């Protein structure tokens, strides 16, 4: 079972309740309103029931779209998990080798030599920036061949290290390209999910308002309160008795 957000799960529940209530009360609303509106401009009580049931069915359709869009968004997130792990591992390996190269050159020839190979700054953390940094360093290591000898006699040939770095860069760059595609797809899925939610809100609000209006016209005021969307319900203002209200006004004046 695909997990979904708490927000969407709540709205699925609200939809089921609203649709069930609408269908359960369609006949009584049609009957009560029919008694009030019968004979006016060709009105028939069946019109009320048709509107209620058709709107309920439409809301169910919109809700299904929202649910599918939410699941698609969650699926896109799940697709990234394994890729992110591979990308993190490849990034660590490439970063480590670049830093070793940097420190070896600094120890052997001093900090001024770092600029020749594009290593003045430490490797960046951002994926695309690390790719550019590594590409530049590899090109400069190949273009300016040199053999560095460390304090303990260790030898570093720039062309050899360029090959080693490139062997790490190529798979990392491929993973970065895949991740960029995944990010674009995730953004697209998020946009579609948000549009589906917006459409649901308007459709849900529309049916709620229709049912609330029908109930009030039919004199079913208690039922009408149940059709107010939960995301629009506000706390009712507290009305003080006249005596208390006068005391409050007097206190404020003082």
pLDDT digits (tens, 9 = 90+) for 158-174: 999 999 999 999 999 99
The percent of residues above 90 in pLDDT, for the chain, comes to: 61
Q: Which tokens is 73 given?
A: 């968004």
Q: Report, in this order, helix, strand and coil percent for the chain, each rounded to 5.
A: 75, 0, 20
At 243 the pLDDT is 45
How far is the CA of 243 from the CAs of 52, 247, 252, in angstroms? Answer: 46, 6, 15
Closest CA to 78 of 152, 186, 150, 168: 186
Q: Which residues lie closer than 8 Å to 60 by C-beta, 6 or more apart?
A: 15, 19
pLDDT in tens, 104-125: 899 888 888 899 999 999 999 9
pLDDT of 39 > 70? The answer is no
- CA 196, distance to chain mean position in Å, is 12
Q: Which tokens is 11 given?
A: 């709205």
pLDDT of 247 > 80? The answer is no
At 2 the pLDDT is 56
The percent of residues above 70 in pLDDT, for the chain, comes to: 85
Q: CB–CB of 113/106 below 8 Å? A: yes
Confidence band of 238 (pLDDT split at 50, 70, 90):
very low
Q: Which residues lie closer than 8 Å to 214 by C-beta, 6 or more apart?
A: 29, 33, 48, 52
At 70 the pLDDT is 94
Confidence band of 47 (pLDDT split at 50, 70, 90):
confident
Closest CA to 136 of 107, 166, 178: 166
Is the pTM higher than 0.85? The answer reads no
For the ranges 55-69, 75-89, 202-216, 233-247, which has the lowest average pLDDT? 233-247
pLDDT of 35 > 60? The answer is yes
Higher pLDDT, 2 or 10: 10
Confidence band of 65 (pLDDT split at 50, 70, 90):
very high
- The strand pairing partners of 148, in sequence order, are 156
């Amino acid at each position: 079972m695909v997990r979904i957000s708490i927000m969407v799960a709540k709205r699925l529940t609200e939809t089921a309740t609203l649709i069930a209530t609408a269908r359960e009360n369609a006949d009584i609303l049609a009957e009560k309103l029919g008694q009030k509106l019968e004979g006016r401009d060709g009105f028939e009580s069946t019109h009320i029931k048709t509107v209620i049931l058709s709107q309920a069915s439409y809301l169910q359709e919109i809700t299904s779209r929202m649910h599918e869009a939410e699941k698609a968004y969650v699926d896109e997130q799940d697709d990234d998990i394994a890729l992110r792990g591979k990308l993190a591992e490849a990034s660590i390996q490439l970063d480590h080798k670049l830093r070793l190269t940097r420190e070896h050159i600094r120890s052997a020839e001093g900090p001024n030599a770092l600029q020749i190979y594009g290593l003045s700054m430490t490797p960046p953390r951002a994926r695309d920036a690390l790719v550019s940094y590594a590409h530049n360093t590899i090109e400069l290591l190949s273009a300016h061949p040199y053999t560095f000898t460390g304090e303990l006699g260790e030898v570093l040939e720039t062309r050899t290290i360029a090959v080693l770095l490139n062997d790490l860069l190529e798979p990392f760059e491929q993973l970065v390209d895949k991740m960029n595609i995944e990010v674009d797809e995730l953004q697209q899925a998020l946009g579609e999910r948000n549009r589906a939610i917006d459409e649901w809100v308007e459709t849900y609000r529309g049916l709620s308002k229709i049912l609330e209006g029908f109930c009030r016209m039919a004199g079913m005021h208690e039922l009408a309160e149940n059709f107010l969307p939960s995301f629009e319900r506000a706390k009712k203002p507290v009305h003080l008795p006249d005596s208390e209200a006068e005391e409050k006004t007097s206190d404020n004046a003082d």
